[in-house]
Amino acid sequence: MKYSGWPDPGELVVGRVDEIEDFGVFVDLQEYEDKRGLCHISEVASGWIKNVRDHVSEGQTVVAKVLDVDEDAQQIDLSIKDVNDHQRKDKIQEWKNEQKADNWMLLAFGDDIDDETYAAIANELLAAFGSMYEGFEEAAIHGEEALDETDLSDEEIEAIVETARENVSVPYVNVTGYVTLECPSGDGVDVIKESLQAAEGNGEIPEEVDLEVTYVGSPEYRIQVQAPDYKTAESHLETSAERAIAVVSDHGGSGEYHRDRREDAE
């Protein structure tokens, strides 16, 4: 997807060097339709420049900062030297991500999708998530629920979710905690079983979370959680332990949650 408008001053843009002159470099903006900027020789690199070609080459992909935009004159002034390595790396990754999202849009809605429909769907994702890529990533993790607040149709949401789950590699994190469970009553074994079922969520764990409870050694149990981010993982880890402890406590037993194994913590 290429934007039809103009970039804003201060914005970082991805471009391809398509012409080099003694006075500077012309850059074809990859994110905007039919937009070309000029990076004056003084903005190509810091210090005195003897030959512009010592710093850039034709066909090279660069990240530049937009200095000024004159729509009447059809002119965009750029600076390559004002972009540091960290900004350059992040912007290139963002651009590559949006290229992936563009391909996913075509997979979801077909190569023959008209520009108006494409733009309408893309704008919904941009408004809700800041980028099409983030929209597809959230759809892969949370399914249709992630798109509930958009104005997309049910058919469009279904197409995005299906495509996302087939193509998006979702980052996951893993966390581990431990819970000790003791119940001295006569039916203590059954109470412990019930508490472990509660720890595992009784089938109510969200689809994007994988939670497993395993036996370590009486009276200790390991809880392992895989989730899209640490905040979610930690939350489900603690809640899992709380559910188990609540069950044994209701039957006169006791429980304790800790992040390290007891023998390591002692």
CATH 1.10.150 domain locations along the chain: 86-167
**Which CATH superfamily groups domain 173-265?**
EIF_2_alpha (3.30.70.1130)
Q: According to CATH, what is the number of the domain 86-167?
A: 1.10.150
Cα radius of gyration (the chain): 27
Q: What's the confidence (pLDDT) of residue 264? A: 45
Q: Where in the chain is the domain with CATH 2.40.50.140?
A: 12-83
Give the pLDDT score at 266: 40
CB 152 within 8 A of CB 199: no
Answer whether 4's CB lies under 8 Å from 121's CB. Answer: no
Distance CA 194, CA 189 (A): 9
- pLDDT tens by residue, 162-203: 999 899 887 788 899 999 999 888 888 899 999 999 999 877
Hey, what amino acid is at 205?
Answer: I
pLDDT reported for residue 263: 54
- pLDDT number for residue 11: 96
Residue-level pLDDT at 147: 94
Measure the CA–CA gap between 224 and 214, rounded to whole angstroms: 8
**What stretch(es) of the chain map to CATH 3.30.70.1130?**
173-265
Cα distances from 158 to residues 109, 113, 262, in angstroms, run 11, 16, 47
CATH, domain 12-83, list 3.30.70.580, 1.10.1740.10, 2.90.10.10, 2.40.50.140: 2.40.50.140
Positions of the chain with pLDDT under 50: 264-266
The residue type found at 144 is: E
Whole-number Cα distances in Å, 73 to 5, 43, 76, 78, 263: 15, 20, 9, 15, 73
